[in-house]
Amino acid sequence: MTETSWIKPKSRVPATKKPDFVTLNGSDAQRSFQQTANEESRVACRERCFTGDGCSCVLAVGPIQHDSAVAVAISHNSSTTAFWRCRNLLAVLFFALLTAVLVPATTAQAACSVVGQPCVRDDFDSRAYDLNTGTDDWTTDWAETGESDGPELGVILVPVSLGELRFQAVFGSNEENYAITRNVDIPAAANNATLRLNVGYEGTLGSSKFLEVTANSIPFGIISGSAVPNPATYSYDLDSVLGPIGGTTISVRLTNLDDLGDTPDYWTIDFVEVTYDSPLAISLADFSAQQSDDHVLVAWETASELDNQGFNLYRSTSDAAPQTQLNDALIPSQAPGSAIGHLYTWEDWRDLASGATYFYWLEDVSLSGATTLHGPVSATYNGPTAVTLAGLQAESPTTPNALPAITLALALLLPLLALRATRCLDREGTKKREGHNARSREETRRGPSHASRPFAPS
């Protein structure tokens, strides 16, 4: 027995190009061109296949006796493809939404040497000259002197292993006075700036090789190629030499003072940072708590907020220490960077018990992340237990009342997800119906197949 079938390719075939045909012998399929098939059936098959997205055609070249495995595989092709296409689309869109909502964004963690102090810093964890790993950003990128081939080549480079900057010998070159420079703008209210860096050497540079550290062209240190310990962290007080540094630009420069002599030895710098004292985030003018109807009203007023990004409010039933943070998210500053203060109020409705005295602490958070705790102040509550509810009211018309990010993401994306899936299923259903109708018309035109005729014994 012989059965010939062709299956439409996944991509639509141009009208001028004849598709390949597949010869099926039982359950064994081999691709070949079938030139002897009836042309009328070929045309009808082609028309039927182009009405849907998945099809099968049987072209008679002899007595037909359907192989069950082949027939099932061919007839199942269209509906199965449609089902899995839409199912896979739903799965992809669902997991994309789930990832966007549940996976938190990650950022580089600030690693200043002094906790609570702002800094600019570069740990050389990337083969780039624009890396910022401190609380604040450098004003410029690193700039090379003596060459200009970037952080991946030459005398000055960040190796593939990362984590350090190197000054190394290049055969046939004189590396004397090769340098690298980067600038930082110090905040106007800052003071007590310190330059810190970790320097070492690999091999035996010796006491005749030196690395110079300067700030604003003034030498602060000269490190020997035989210094002990190796490596070591060096600190330089910038104020003592440069004077008040608030509002100024500090230019940090590292210079290799000598020819490295075509040796395999090199200087290593693990990090460079400039730290400075943070001014007080706020100047607090008033902080109070008192019962107001069926809740406690907490109020605070600032005289200035030069370095403030916001507040946290805490409550306790004793004055020993804060117990409960009342705000879910940081209460944003209403006067960031301003020498003029602002008035804030918070209505505390959370699980208040009649006759209880509550103590409140206010925590201000500076731009660098440093915190200062104020309080406590107290209020005795006399009244019925209120419904659990808390809210911030700041006297500013620009304070946003934002929908939580997760709720907003779901509200926007779920309707789109449902619409896309519905359209996919509708489209596949329409194509399946069109294919079925086309097959019905073809079978009506051709009449009963050999397979449906009564069996006549020979």
What are the φ/ψ torsions at residue 39 (nearest 5 degrees)? Answer: -65, -35
Can you give the C-alpha Rg of the chain in angstroms? 38
Residue with tokens 């350090």: 164
Mean pLDDT of 275-292: 84
What are the φ/ψ torsions at residue 256 (nearest 5 degrees)? Answer: -85, 115
- Bond from prior residue into 231 cis (ω within 30 degrees of 0): yes
**Domain 119-277, what fold?**
Jelly Rolls (2.60.120)
Query: DSSP E strands: which ranges in 278-323?
Result: 283-292, 295-304, 308-316
pLDDT of residue 254 exceeding 80? yes
Query: DSSP E strands: which ranges in 186-261?
Result: 191-202, 206-215, 218-225, 232-237, 249-256
pLDDT of residue 282 exceeding 50? yes
- Residue 21: its pLDDT value, please? 40
* Amino acid (1-letter code) at residue 84: W
* Amino acid (1-letter code) at residue 255: T
* Amino acid (1-letter code) at residue 394: A
Report the distance separating Cα 300 and Cα 311, nearest Å.
11
Structure-model confidence comparison of residues 56 and 303, the more confident one: 303
pLDDT of residue 189 exceeding 60? yes
Tens of pLDDT, residues 88-145? 656 655 655 554 444 433 334 457 888 767 889 999 999 999 999 987 899 999 999 9
Q: What CATH number was assigned to the domain covering residues 283-394?
A: 2.60.40.10
- Residue 100: its pLDDT value, please? 45
Structure-model confidence comparison of residues 106 and 360, the more confident one: 360
- Band (188; pLDDT cuts 50, 70, 90): confident
Residue with tokens 């006759």: 355
Neighbours of 133 (CB within 10 A): 20
Tens of pLDDT, residues 370-429? 788 898 999 999 976 443 333 444 433 333 333 445 555 555 666 676 677 677 767 767
pTM above 0.75, yes or no: no
Q: Where are the domains of the chain?
A: 3-98+425-446, 119-277, 283-394
Tens of pLDDT, residues 311-351? 999 999 999 889 999 999 999 999 887 878 899 999 999 99
Q: Which parts of 52-170 fold into alpha helices (H)?
A: 68-75, 77-102
Query: Would you list the DSSP string of 387-433?
Result: PS-EEEEES-TT---PPPHHHHHHHHHHHHHHHHHHHHHHHHHHHHH
